[in-house]
Amino acid sequence: QQQVKQSPQSLIVQKGGISIINCAYENTAFDYFPWYQQFPGKGPALLIAIRPDVSEKKEGRFTISFNKSAKQFSLHIMDSQPGDSATYFCAASSYFGNEKLTFGTGTRLTIIP
């Protein structure tokens, strides 16, 4: 019930291309779906987050698509740049749950020239 499954484990995208990372969850009580970006030796930084009352949220080159019926959400990075090379984690939490974030397993993204 608390799992968040993330794919792919690693992803290589050419500069300027679109990077897509997918996550699926089981707990229908989840009401907050953030994506975090982590560089080596640093803590995760919030990239973008969505709540289930909308199906899409866009901030600059980053877009979250949310499918409540399928219990899936994805991160799209448009015009991917070498500086986007990092590990990305999806996560989910429930306001009425035990307050903790449930993380996906992470995706190591590499943007090549």
Contact set with other proteins (CB under 8 A): 31-32, 34, 36, 41-46, 49, 51, 89, 91, 93, 95, 98-101, 103-106, 108
CB of 51 to other proteins, least distance (A): 8
CB of 46 to other proteins, least distance (A): 7
Residue 101 burial by Cβ neighbours in a 10 Å radius (0-12, 13-18, 19+) = middle
Q: Pick between residue 53 and residue 69 the one whose CB is nearest to other proteins.
A: 53
- Which tokens go with 58? 């866009």
Question: What is the distance between the alpha carbons of residues 18 and 44, in angstroms, rounded to a whole number?
Answer: 22
Q: Pick between residue 15 and residue 58 the one whose CB is nearest to other proteins.
A: 58
Q: Pick between residue 41 and residue 113 the one whose CB is nearest to other proteins.
A: 41
